[in-house]
Amino acid sequence: MPQPSFAEIGASKVVCDVLSKRGITDTFAIQSLVVPDVLAGHDVLAKSPTGSGKTLAFAVPIVERLQATDRRPAALILAPTRELALQIVDDMHDIAHARALSVAAVYGGAGIQRQMERARRSHIIVATPGRLEDILQRRAITLEHIQILVLDEADRMLDMGFRPAVDRIVERTPRSRQTLFFSATLEGAAGQIATAYTSDARRHEHVPAVDHKAETEHRFVRVQHEAKVDALVNELKDVERGLTIVFVRTKRGADRLVKRLKDNYVTAVAMHGDKSQSQREKALARFERGEVDILVATDVAARGIDVRDVTHVINYDMPEDRDGYVHRTGRTGRAGRAGISVTFVLGDQARDMSRVAADLGLHKEFSLSGLPTSTSGGGGGGRPRNGGGGAGPRGGRPQQRPGRRERAATAGRPGGNGRSAR
């Protein structure tokens, strides 16, 4: 069933014109679900993964509901990482400007004075919790005029220990605000604060099935511990490969793998939590520009990365679980684009990985690897281990390339009632 256009769900002509210039006309599922409710003034709880177009799901109605004459800041978007905050600003800038609204990013690792000055003048602030608290403590801005509050990737903010800061920030906003809560899960702690921060919220869940036929090709490759680097180098020789993210489990493993790739005349950059904000930003910028087309990253560091044209995701180290797999592979095949996901699996990891694959409807793809499944014999049943060397696109973008056909892979392959804080 075709999705409605932004015009059909209530976006103004001026905003639709800007989106059209970016090649965006029709909505994605989460956008068509959320935008009408936000425009109508309802609080919203939305469960949707990264890469589903959720940024425009809140960005479009925010710029439509605010007026240039509103007292500033009038909207606050909280994000867990600097990278995500900057990408939200990038996505919002043009449509906000078309409505005579301004947007500012507030995050750590950059000059605070300039950020305070820009935040004072802006209608919309996109901020990480820590830096925003620094600015609030200096009384540079007030949140008493906030009309709309967005918590993006709220589950990740909780994982990163931001709950106390978020509570203090929400406490400073008016009880009459409209609250939009986006999270990969609405259960557990995330669900509790979602209920606490919102009132009579409209709830939407959009968790698309892994579409291995149309967008992302999923391959599982059986490897030996000592041959993982060689197998990775072979994968990186794919002539159709563009920007590639290689996932590892540990920060030390990321650095070690970059060095081992260099020994094989392959250039890559590492991105993880021990890197400074400046180092992470430079690495991401080089990757986005294509100066280096391989980014080796840990799961936490990669959270919020939204880079267009990532053609390959390679799980050098097997993900911890189903959610980890979805999060990683969601970096490619995004918003209608095609992509390839490759997962290296050691013999004693086969059963754990087969369970994840089966849960995602990827049993056929996993069976092509020749690895034993959770219901077959052999392969051992050990827990996943850290192996060997240490280890995209804006919402609403149009489709580009068609999906690739499935290929077998082996190691020998060549080449709400009450509200709190209100």
What local confidence, expressed as pLDDT, does residue 410 receive?
39
Mean per-residue pLDDT, 308-318: 93
Question: What is the percent of the chain where pLDDT is above 70?
Answer: 83
Cα–Cα distance measured from residue 295 to residue 276, given in angstroms and rounded to the nearest whole number: 16
Which helix (H) or strand (E) covers residue 7, if one does?
none
Report the alpha-carbon angle 87-89-94, nearest 5: 115
DSSP strands (E only) in 117-215:
124-127, 148-151, 178-183, 202-205
* Helix (H), strand (E) counts: the chain: 16, 13
What local confidence, expressed as pLDDT, does residue 40 receive?
97
Domain check: are 288 and 346 in the same one? Answer: yes
What local confidence, expressed as pLDDT, does residue 415 receive?
38
What residues contact residue 377 under an 8 Å CB cut-off, 6+ apart?
A: none
Question: Residue 222: which CATH number?
Answer: 3.40.50.300
Cα–Cα distance measured from residue 317 to residue 323, given in angstroms and rounded to the nearest whole number: 15
Cα–Cα distance measured from residue 119 to residue 352, given in angstroms and rounded to the nearest whole number: 47
In a domain, 69, yes or no: yes
Domain check: are 177 and 233 in the same one? Answer: no
Domain check: are 31 and 140 in the same one? Answer: yes
Domain check: are 93 and 226 in the same one? Answer: no
What confidence tens digit (pLDDT) does each residue in 171-225 have? 999 999 999 999 988 888 889 999 999 999 999 987 655 544 447 899 999 999 8
pTM, rounded to two decimals: 0.63
What confidence tens digit (pLDDT) does each residue in 223-262 have? 998 999 999 999 999 988 999 999 999 889 999 999 999 9
Domain extent, residue 314, equals 216-367
What local confidence, expressed as pLDDT, does residue 294 receive?
96
pLDDT at 380 over 60: no
pLDDT at 335 over 70: no
Domain check: are 314 and 277 in the same one? Answer: yes
Domain check: are 55 and 129 in the same one? Answer: yes
Q: How many domains does the chain have?
A: 2
Which helix (H) or strand (E) covers residue 11, if one does?
none
